[in-house]
Structure 1
Amino acid sequence: MQGARGWRGWPRRLVGVWRRSLQFRTIVITVVLSTLAMAVTGTYMSISIGNDLFQSRLNQVLVESKNAATAAQTIFDSADASGEASTLSLLSSAKSAIIASSSSRLIALYATPGQTSSSTTVLSFASPELARAGVISPELRAAVADTPEGAQQHWQSVPLDDQQGGTDPGIIVGSPLTIPGAGAFELYIGYNLAEAEQTLLFVQQTLWLGGLALIILIGLVAWLIVRLVVEPIRVAAETSEKLAAGQLEVRIPERGDDVISTLARSFNGMADSMQSQITQLADLSQVQQRFVSDVSHELRTPLTTIRLAGDVLYDQRESFPPATGRTAELLHTQTERFEVLLSDLLEISRFDAGSASLDTEPTNLVRLAEDAVEGMESLAEQAGSPLRLVAPGGYFEAEVDGRRIRRIVRNLLGNAIEHGEGKPIVVSVDSDERSVALSVRDYGSGMSEEEAERVFDRFWRADPSRKRTIGGTGLGLAISLEDATLHGGALEVWSRPGAGSCFRLTLPRIQGRMIGEPPLPLEPADAFGEVPAVAELRPHTPVASSTGSTPAQGGDDD
C-alpha cells in the first residue's frame, strides 16, 4: 500500500518540481521539443529513404526484366522449332537466358488465355513461389495479355514466401512473349526485396539510435548551459531571501565581467545601500525608543509628586472657593490622564524594543469579559449605552495573559462607549476546540473603509474635532493590536457608516497553535438591518469555570 501511495504521489511531486525549478522546466521543454523535431525529421528521412530504395530497386528490376524478356524473345525468334521437343529445348535455353539477365529464379510462363494450341499447356510453368494462388493477380495477367509484344511492362508489389515460412516484400514484372509455333505467352519474373528491406531497417535503426543519442546529448548540453545561467539566478534568489529575512551582510559573489557579474555588482550595491539605510533607521529607532523610555521613567518622579499634591488639593476642594475647587478637579483629572498616557508610552516602547513577554495561564474568557463589563458599567450608564454579554456556549478556557486580554477588552468597550451614541453595546464570546473569540458590537455612527484601515494607528482619530468623553490617550487600540499579535491571535474590525462597528478578538486556545476559522463572524448578522432587541437578552449570570460547561447568555440591566 505504501508503494502504491508513493506511486500515486509522483505526479504531484513532478508538478511541484515543475513549478519550483526553472532549470527543470527549461531542460524538459528543450528535450521535448528536440524529441518532437527529431521524430518528425527521422520519420521524414525514413519515408524518403524507403521510397528512394524502392524506386531504385524498381527501376533496376524493370531494366533487368526487360533485358530478360528481350533475350528470351531473341532466342525464340532466331530458332526454327519444328516440333514439341525442339520447342522445349528452346524454352530451356530461354529460361537460362532469363535467369542470367534478371538474376532471379522466380519465373513463370503462362499461355495467353483464348489460344487453342495443344503445346500451351506443355510449355507453361511457374516457380513454386509464384505458383501460389493470388501471387500473380488476375488484374496483372489481364494487363499483360492486353499489351502488344515489346510494349510497356507491367509490375505489381506482392508478398513472397521466404525460407523461414514467412513473407518478404517483392515485385512481379510481367512482359508479353511470342513463341513461334506455340502462340502468345506471358512472362512473369519475381524479385525478392528482402535485402532492400534489411537495408531500410538498418538505416531506420541508425537514424533512431542516432536521434536518441543526439537527444541525450542535447539534454546534457541544455543542463550544462541552463546550470551556468540559472545557478547565478538561484544564488541571487537565495541571497535576496536571506536579505528579506534580516541577514543584511550576505552578498552575491562577483566573477568576471559578463551580464551576470553586472547584475551581481548592482545587487550588492543595492544591498549595501539598503543595509546602510536600515542600520541608520534602526539606530534612530533605538534612540527614539530609548528616549521615550527614559523620558517616561524620568517623568514618573515629578508626576508622583504632582499626583500627591493634586490629591491633597482634590480632597480639600470643597473648602476652596468655587473657581479654586474646579481647578483642583481639573488638575486631578488631567494628572490621572497623564499617568495613563505615561503607562501607555512605556508599554508601546516595550513593544517597539521587542521586550514584551507573556505570562500565560488557563483563563476563562467569559469570566474575564464579565469582569470587564462590570468595570465599565458606570461609564456606559453615563453615556446611556446598556452593556450586554452573549455567551452561547463552548470551550472558553484558553492559555492567555489575563492582564493583557483584560486591557484589550477594556479598550474595546471604552471605544464602543465613546462612539456608541447612547445605543446598546453587545459583547459576544464563543469558541471551538482550536480558538476562542470575543467581539464588541456597537450601533453608533460607524466608520468608512478608509477610516477602518487606520483605526489601529497610534494617536489616530476618525474625527479630530470630536471631544473625548471618557478620556483616553489615542494608544489603546494600537496597544490592543500589539497584545493580540503577541498572543499569536488577531484583532479585526468591521464598520459601516450609520451601521456601527464590530471589533473581533481571536486567540488560540493553546499558545503556539494556529487559530483556524474564528468562532464568531466579523460582519454581524444585523450589519445592515435594524438594531436587535437587546433588551430581550437575559441579564448575565455567573458561569461555571469548568471547560465544556454551558455559559450564560445575557448582560447587565443596571
Structure 2
Amino acid sequence: MTSGPSLGLRARLLFAFALLCAVTAAAVAGGLYVQARNDILERTQDAALKATKERLETLFPLRTPAPDRIELGAIAATMVEGNSYALAVYREEYVEAGPPPGPPPTAPGGGRPDRNGPLLSSETVSADLRRTVAAGEIAWQRVVREGTPFLIIGAPLVTVEQDRSRVSGIEVYTARSLYPEQRSIDWLATRAWLFGGAAMAFAVVVALLATRSVLRPVRELGRAARLLGEGELRTRIAVRGSDELADVARTFNDTAAELERHVTQLREMEADARRFVADVSHELRTPLAALAAVAEVLDDEAVRLPGPAGKAARLVTQETLNLTTLVNDLIEISRFDSGVAALSLNEVDVTELVPATLRVRGWSDAVRTELPASATARLDPRRVDVILANLVGNALRHGEPPVSVRLTADPHWITFEVRDHGPGLDASVLPHAFDRFYKASAARARSEGSGLGLAIALENARLHRGDLTVANAPDGGALFTLRLPRWAADPDGASA
C-alpha cells in the first residue's frame, strides 16, 4: 500500500502557522463581536426600558379603567417617542400610534419599515409576550420586520386602590428600531474580520521569515550530508548563533572532522598495505626465479632419487610453483588496487579463444564446450584467458565432472557460462565467492589455488566494464556467468 506525496517541512510549518493564526483570529474576532453586540443591545434595551417606564408614569392616574378606542389611541400616542411605534390593547381593542410626521425612519431597503402593514398588531406581538404582560410584568423581545430589527417592549398599566395595585387590563407595547445598533454591530464585525485577516496575513509573513531562518540550516545540513556521502570529507557547515540548530551544525562538523581523520588513516593504512604487498611481491620474484630453476632440476632428478628424497624434491617443486603463482597473483592484484591495470584491446574470434585456453592448460578432454560458429568481439584476449582459466580451473578442482563452457552472443554482449555438476556452493559461501583469500572451509586451507583467482577474474571483468556472477544451477553444481561488452571501449573512452 502506497501513500500519496507528503507535504514538505516548509509547507507544513506554514500550514500550522496559518491554521493557528486563523483559529486565534476567529476566536478573538468572534469574542469581540459577541461582547460588543451584547453590550450594545443591553445598553439599548436598558435605555428603552427606562424610557418606557418614564412614559408609563405620565399616564397615571388613568382617566377610566375601561377606556374606549379614543382613549386607547391617546394612551398609545403618549408612549410614542421619536421614531418608535406604540400599541395600546384593552381586551380585544388594538390601537396603534406611529411616529410624528417628518422624514421616514432609516431602513435597509429605504422607506418606512411598516410600509407593508402595521408594525404592531395582534399578529406581530407574540402570544408569549402577551401572556407575560397580562400577568403584570414588563417584558421585551426582538423581532425582524422586512430586514430591520426591532425591540418590542410590553408593559401592563396598573391601578392603585386602597394602597394596593392591581392590573387594569390595559397593555401597551412599544417598538423601537434597532437598525442603528445593527449597523454599529455590523461595522464592528467587519472591522474585527478585517483586523483578523490583516493579523493572519502578518502571521503568514512572519511564518515565512521564521521557516526560512529555520529551514536554511536544515537545507545546508542536507546538502552537506549529501556531499559527505559522495566522499567530500572536507565538507563543513557554517555555525550561526547558539541555538539548537547551531548545536546540530557543530555536531555535524565534529562528526565530519572525525570521519575525515579515520578515513584518512584507513586510506594511509590501505596504501601502506598495498605498497608493502607490491614491494614484497617484486622482491620475491628474483629469488623465486632462481628457486624455480633449481626446482626444475630437482624435478628432473626426482625419479632417480631414493623414495623419501624423491618425494621431498617433488614437494619442493610443487610448493615453488604455488609460491610463484601466489606472487604473480599478488602483483596482479596490486596493479588493480593502484589503478594501473589497463586493457590491450584486440578484435578476436571468441570461439577460437575458448579452445585455445583449454588446450594450453591440457583441459580440452576434461571440459565440454558449447560454442557458436563465430563470435567476434573487441576485448583483451590475455585478460579474458585469465578469467576463463580461473573459472574452469576452479570448477575442475572443487566441482565434479562434467565441467562445461557455454558461449552465447548478441549484438552488444558476449556471455560465458562455466559450470560443474558437483554439490554447488553453500548459501553462506555465495556472497564471498570473489573475496580475496576466502576459503569455504578450513579443510581447504592448503588447496592448490592462491585464493586470489576468482578475485582477479572479477577485477578483469570489471576492467572490461562487464560483470561476473555465481549461482547454483537448478539441477546441481556451481554456475559462473561472465558478461562482457562485445565492443569494449578503448582506454581513452572512445568505442571501437
TM-score between the two structures when normalised by the length of structure 1? 0.66
Q: Does 1:147 align with 2:125?
A: no
| Contact kept? 1:254, 1:264, Cα under 8 Å | no
Please state how far the C-alpha of 1:183 moved relative to its aligned partner: 5.5
| Contact kept? 1:239, 1:251, Cα under 8 Å | no
Unpaired stretches in structure 2, ≥5 consecutive residues:
100-104, 106-111, 160-167, 490-496
- The letter for the 2-side match of 1:287 is R
- The letter for the 2-side match of 1:154 is W
RMSD of aligned residue pairs (Cα, Å): 4.7
Are the structure 2 counterparts of residues 47 and 301 from structure 1 closer, same or farther at C-alpha, using a change threshold of 3 Å?
A: same
Aligned to 1:542: none
Please state how far the C-alpha of 1:188 moved relative to its aligned partner: 2.7
Please state how far the C-alpha of 1:444 moved relative to its aligned partner: 1.0
2:484 to 500, 507, 529: 507
Report the Cα distance in structure 1 between the residues aligned to 2:69 and 2:264, rounded to whole angstroms.
Answer: 119
| Contact kept? 2:88, 2:170, Cα under 8 Å | no
Aligned to 2:494: none
Report the Cα distance in structure 2 between the residues aligned to 1:322 and 1:342, rounded to whole angstroms.
Answer: 31
Report the Cα distance in structure 2 between the residues aligned to 1:94 and 1:255, rounded to whole angstroms.
Answer: 77
- The letter for the 2-side match of 1:129 is P
Aligned to 1:66: 49
2:113 to 129, 137, 158: 129
Q: Does 1:407 align with 2:407?
A: no
Alignment of 1:323-472 (within 5 A): 339-361=324-346, 368-369=353-354, 371-372=356-357, 378-379=362-363, 381=365, 387-389=368-370, 399-421=378-400, 423-430=401-408, 435-463=413-441, 465=443, 472=449
Report the Cα distance in structure 2 between the residues aligned to 1:256 and 1:209, rounded to whole angstroms.
Answer: 31
Report the Cα distance in structure 2 between the residues aligned to 1:130 and 1:177, rounded to whole angstroms.
Answer: 24
C-alpha distance after superposition, 1:354-411 (max 9, x if no partner): 11112335566555445545656x5374xxx5524277x9x96655333222321221
1:475 to 442, 448, 452: 452
Aligned to 2:470: 493
Say how many residue pairs are matched: 457
| Contact kept? 2:355, 2:364, Cα under 8 Å | no
Aligned to 1:47: 30
Aligned to 1:553: none
- The letter for the 1-side match of 2:30 is I
Please state how far the C-alpha of 1:191 moved relative to its aligned partner: 1.0
Aligned to 1:545: none
Please state how far the C-alpha of 1:467 moved relative to its aligned partner: 9.9
Report the Cα distance in structure 1 between the residues aligned to 2:235 and 2:71, rounded to whole angstroms.
Answer: 107
Aligned to 2:195: 206
Report the Cα distance in structure 2 between the residues aligned to 1:280 and 1:222, rounded to whole angstroms.
Answer: 43
Aligned to 2:212: 223
Please state how far the C-alpha of 1:434 moved relative to its aligned partner: 5.7
Please state how far the C-alpha of 1:477 moved relative to its aligned partner: 0.9
Alignment of 1:121-200 (within 5 A): 123=96, 128-130=112-114, 132=116, 138=123, 140-148=125-133, 151-158=137-144, 160-161=146-147, 170-176=149-155, 184-192=171-179, 193-200=182-189
Report the Cα distance in structure 2 between the residues aligned to 1:110 and 1:366, rounded to whole angstroms.
Answer: 124
| Contact kept? 1:173, 1:189, Cα under 8 Å | yes
Unpaired stretches in structure 1, ≥5 consecutive residues:
1-10, 19-24, 100-104, 162-167, 513-558
Are the structure 2 counterparts of residues 342 and 213 from structure 1 closer, same or farther at C-alpha, using a change threshold of 3 Å?
A: same
- The letter for the 2-side match of 1:189 is R
Are the structure 2 counterparts of residues 427 and 140 from structure 1 closer, same or farther at C-alpha, using a change threshold of 3 Å?
A: farther
- The letter for the 2-side match of 1:461 is K
Report the Cα distance in structure 2 between the residues aligned to 1:75 and 1:498, rounded to whole angstroms.
Answer: 120
2:279 to 283, 288, 291: 291
Report the Cα distance in structure 2 between the residues aligned to 1:74 and 1:147, rounded to whole angstroms.
Answer: 20
Q: Secondary structure at the match of 1:437?
A: strand
Report the Cα distance in structure 2 between the residues aligned to 1:465 and 1:488, rounded to whole angstroms.
Answer: 35
Are the structure 2 counterparts of residues 188 and 433 from structure 1 closer, same or farther at C-alpha, using a change threshold of 3 Å?
A: farther
Q: Does 1:277 align with 2:265?
A: yes
C-alpha distance after superposition, 1:401-446 (max 9, x if no partner): 332223212211111111223x323434445666443322222132
Q: Secondary structure at the match of 2:363?
A: helix
| Contact kept? 2:236, 2:253, Cα under 8 Å | no
Report the Cα distance in structure 1 between the residues aligned to 2:273 and 2:140, rounded to whole angstroms.
Answer: 101
- The letter for the 2-side match of 1:489 is G
Q: Report the identity percentage.
A: 21
Report the Cα distance in structure 2 between the residues aligned to 1:287 and 1:480, rounded to whole angstroms.
Answer: 22
| Contact kept? 2:221, 2:237, Cα under 8 Å | no
Which deviates further from its counterpart, 37-46 or 77-86? Answer: 77-86
TM-score between the two structures when normalised by the length of structure 2? 0.73
Are the structure 2 counterparts of residues 485 and 132 from structure 1 closer, same or farther at C-alpha, using a change threshold of 3 Å?
A: farther
| Contact kept? 2:408, 2:415, Cα under 8 Å | yes
Aligned to 1:516: none
Which deviates further from its counterpart, 44-53 or 473-482? Answer: 44-53
| Contact kept? 2:113, 2:145, Cα under 8 Å | no
Are the structure 2 counterparts of residues 406 and 158 from structure 1 closer, same or farther at C-alpha, using a change threshold of 3 Å?
A: farther
